[in-house]
Structure 1
């Protein structure tokens, strides 16, 4: 091979490596995660995880905050749950929020040089128009947050990277699905949840069995969890993620929506909302 050919081959190899680094759903940290029943997630093992702090103002003039998870799906968009931004209950107004990416330790908010703290306001939040609450069960519990500026993923690919979304035809390994979050580890526990990201493997539960706990659940949701491994309060909005059978990449199957006593949890099913997600991104470039 001549020098020009060798140079071209080298450049193509570098381009291939760059694209591999930027591929969604990949992590440079390999671990076996073992939330309820959860184990600590090594830093940057789930580089798409985001921690949300949302601030509201009530009609009484009282400032309230809630804490949720979210998932980076591309360089400028986060997916989360509607109820993280609007509880449907008391009269309150969303004021602003902060998203923390690039770290599993939220106690170091603003003090970790590799973490990214991003402010967003009402104009950056997109809530599903048909989201509502029926007998204390949330329907269409999906929302998106547009980051004010696109992330420079090529510069931060070692610790911030988007997850893949499940699309039609994509087969996932149903025995290798995990939920991750900073929520409580016991149902009766108070407080703000954990400071370190936890993750646990969760089993799927079929719809007829799920309906015994959540009568209003439909095919638009997926149920997962058990009495020992589940999401809990504070994990809402985070991903239910499984490995892709074809290439092993992490694929987002659902958004943590609502649970019962930190056991069985329903997740907004990504497949049913792909069109809505893509339309929001297309119409708000």
Structure 2
């Protein structure tokens, strides 16, 4: 991954942001017992089990731009399966939304599927190929891969790429999300409308950046009905 450029928009006034965060469901529960792989409610994390920090660029040192937020409620998709990663999406309701500024900005939710082959940007603090965690937030730009191609690539692994998943990456590998990126965003710029949209959420894969193994993301558009019911939002 590459370090993203930090762009400032000094003319933008501060305002309160959304009280909702989208992430991967598998980030919000404890590991399952291998002897009993059934997902029980007691595996779920509670709002007091984790921290939410926005406006952060450096991993280990203060930016001076961070905002610490408090989770109020956690909603895991009712059809989430931790064994197959189907419906791997969750919504966190915040006690209070962040202040929007040059370092904290919202993302639009999709009202239509992305174009096949569209370029997307994935960002996170996950491991790099030397298995080190980066000092700063990193990003990659990769193309969306059609569902049939992705299913065919994963056929030898016996793992199913379902309709609520979307794939992205280069056939030759080299660019991918990795351990520590889970729950992070995959976004695309709609040049026609001039807005960034959330396409997917980092979910799973087969190693990192492996040839013929694309990254698998929770498909946000496929889950919009549930997201809207939980948040009472509309497109």
TM-score by length of 1: 0.65
Which residue in 2 is equivalent to 1:159? Answer: 103
Which residue in 2 is equivalent to 1:281? Answer: 231
Instruction: From 97, 100, 110, give the equivalent of 1:150.
Output: 97
Q: What is the correspondence of 1:104-183 to structure 2 with a 5 Å cutoff?
A: 104-108=57-61, 111-120=62-71, 124-134=73-83, 137-153=84-100, 157-168=101-112, 174-183=117-126
Q: What is the distance in 1 between the residues matched to 2:204 and 2:7?
A: 26
Which residue in 1 is equivalent to 2:154? Answer: 213
Matched, 1:201 2:201: no
How far off is 1:163 after superposition? 0.7
Instruction: From 55, 61, 65, give the equivalent of 1:102.
Output: 55
Which residue in 1 is equivalent to 2:4? Answer: 41
Deviates more, 1:210-219 or 1:261-270: 210-219
Aligned residue pairs total 205
What secondary structure sits across from 1:158 in the alignment? coil
Which residue in 1 is equivalent to 2:184? Answer: 238
Which structure: larger Rg?
Answer: 1
Deviations 1:166-192 (A, max 9, x none): 112x75584431111100111x62x6x
Hey, which of these two has a bigger chunk of strand by percent?
1
CA contact (8 A) 2:116 2:145 kept: no
Instruction: From 23, 26, 33, give the equivalent of 1:83.
Output: 26
CA contact (8 A) 1:82 1:142 kept: yes
CA contact (8 A) 2:201 2:217 kept: yes
CA contact (8 A) 2:70 2:96 kept: no
Aligned-pair RMSD on alpha carbons? 2.4
- In structure 1, runs of 5+ residues without a counterpart are 1-37, 46-73
Deviations 1:128-178 (A, max 9, x none): 1110134xx21100001111113343xxx222110111112x755844311
Deviations 1:47-96 (A, max 9, x none): xxxxxxxxxxxxxxxxxxxxxxxxxxx51111000110125523855251
What secondary structure sits across from 1:246 in the alignment? coil
What secondary structure sits across from 1:216 in the alignment? coil
Q: What is the distance in 2 between the residues matched to 1:183 and 1:152?
A: 26
- In structure 2, runs of 5+ residues without a counterpart are 9-16, 34-41
